A and B are shown apart, each in its own frame.
Chain A
């Protein structure tokens, strides 16, 4: 920028293209990878998924000698392997909310929708990009947790399970699928609420506050209702044993997916209708 420049010329753009969905996917990927919160959340998510099972396995293994037979029988190796999923889901949910709420808090949503005025393309692209990323992160994470926790518990035959045993592979990979769906659900909530604190609070309310509230209800009501809550239904994806009042893995997964679809539909309708 020089004051001496008599006129400023904008270089011409020789090749021009139109907005296309594959391009929006790439754009959203660039956005996803270019903020720190992504690296932090994904890093923490991976670490928690892996670290908790390893720590719990060591704890179980070292206390094995002093444990009662009853206590030993209660140890579920798959629960130990997937305990981190319960914690990692929070990191993935927070990032899911942030991916859209931060666009509103910083105002970058105006740039986004000016470039892509057909707003739903942006929502679909965010959902797909984030699903791929969270699944690509969580599949290795649950596999590492399963095999490392099994290796640490190797001395105790009673705690050994095979990956090829019925339901085990489904439960391990189901843990990754569950976290991916949590990310999708959280992103949709972020799009509905458009505010980081509000979005995270809404997610925490539905996943962590609502389930214990159900225990105030008469047991029969609780059993009838709780199984259909998003968290309880989704959890069946990575559970090996199912109580009589919980859904089967496939049904639970479908119920949770239906919640995700409902949240996405609400988000889509609001996204198109509301002013930015």
Chain B
């Protein structure tokens, strides 16, 4: 369980996180979504007590992260930026962290095997590929068998097999009753993994909703029809919430009606249809629509500054 109340962080005159309040619940995967630079990583650093909030506060499993007697058992975190000494082996890196909590050495080997780093565990981690670095970060996050797992862009640098593995892992962790909080800038990835979404843009909360709600709200009703009698069809479909746009190859895009409604109306009017295709706005489009204002504002601002 992660609870943020009015969480705010300024770096100099720049406000990176702006009055965020949200709750991340156990037992489900919560996606933390936002464009790059929207404050996701900063929020995660605030949760871990690495940065101090300018205003507001955040607790993990009921108390300030710094107050936990055994933080690695409370939260396992993978941060976006590399957080391993490049001259140290994966094994020694994990061992040093395990030792702070008296976690036995065999747990280190167990996690190294789990993430598939067995063969390179004794090599300097500076030579790791991005994907290997991510796996080491995941081993680190899971080292203390934590109640809450918080991962910043965990699929970055993973191959398709690794991404699949990651999805299963996250779902499994949530099914065990853990709190799972995963950031991403990719809506499509979140749609496959997450149950709940917290969306931010420029440090502000944009949406706190279930993935299903987000998807249904985001998918506008658009139907593409082709017919030799387009003019009659227009007349038959016309209504206050309905609008039309010409589409490719003489087709017509109908906004505001479902495919069923269009088909029924055409049949009732005796109009022949050659095509009737419901079109859903992709999740990526929905996400872009939702965050567009924030991103555009940032782009304009950059132009002004430049």
Contact = CB atoms under 8 A, between A and B. Distances in A.
Interface of A: 1-3, 5-13, 15-20, 23-24, 26-28, 30-31, 34-37, 102-103, 106-118, 273, 275-276
Interface residues of B, number: 56
Contacts of B269: none
A108 B107 contact: no
B15 interface: no
Given A107-B84, A117-B68, A13 B145 contact: yes
Interface of B: 45, 48-52, 65-66, 68-73, 75, 77, 79, 81-89, 92-93, 95-97, 99-104, 107, 110, 114-116, 140, 142, 144-145, 161-162, 164-165, 168-169, 171-173, 176
A35 B50 CA distance: 24
A107 B81 contact: yes
Given A10-B145, A19-B100, A27-B97, 12 more contacts: A10-B114, A10-B173, A13-B144, A24-B100, A31-B85, A107-B79, A110-B83, A111-B83, A114-B75, A115-B101, A118-B66, A275-B51
A27 B88 CA distance: 13
B23 to A, nearest CB: 22
Contact of A13 (B65, B103, B164): B103
Contacts of B65: 117
A26 B103 CA distance: 12
Contacts of B116: 1
B84 to A, nearest CB: 6
Given A114-B48, A115-B71, A115-B97, A35 B169 contact: no
B79 A110 contact: yes
Nearest to A37: B87
Contacts of A102: 85, 87
Contacts of A10: 114, 142, 145, 169, 172-173, 176
A108 B114 contact: no
10 contacts: A7-B168, A11-B110, A13-B144, A20-B102, A107-B81, A113-B49, A117-B68, A117-B71, A273-B52, A275-B50
B211 to A, nearest CB: 20
B77 A3 contact: no
Given A8-B169, A108-B84, A115-B100, A275 B70 contact: no
| 5 residue pairs, one from A and one from B, having the closest CB atoms | A17-B102, A13-B145, A34-B92, A275-B51, A117-B66
A2 B140 CA distance: 20
Given A30-B92, A114-B48, A114-B77, A18 B97 contact: no
B90 to A, nearest CB: 11
Nearest to A33: B92
A19 B114 contact: no
A18 B103 contact: no
Nearest to B115: A1
A13 B107 contact: yes
Contacts of A18: 69-70, 101-102
Contacts of B104: 15
Contact of B52 (A5, A110, A275): A275
Contacts of A2: 161, 165
A83 to B, nearest CB: 32
Contacts of B102: 15, 17-18, 20, 23
Nearest to B140: A111
Contacts of B99: 23, 26-27, 30
A18 to B, nearest CB: 4
B221 to A, nearest CB: 36
Given A13-B107, A16-B144, A107-B84, A1 B165 contact: yes
Contacts of A109: 83
B145 A12 contact: yes
Contacts of B169: 8, 10
B149 to A, nearest CB: 9
Kindly name the residue among B81, B102, B107 whose own CB sees the greatest number of chain A CB atoms within 10 A.
B102
A1 to B, nearest CB: 4
Contacts of B73: 13, 16
B247 to A, nearest CB: 39
A8 B140 CA distance: 16
Contacts of B96: 27-28, 30-31, 34
A16 B88 contact: no
Nearest to B11: A275
A24 B48 CA distance: 18
A12 B50 CA distance: 27
A276 B50 contact: yes
B70 A16 contact: yes
Contacts of A17: 70, 101-103
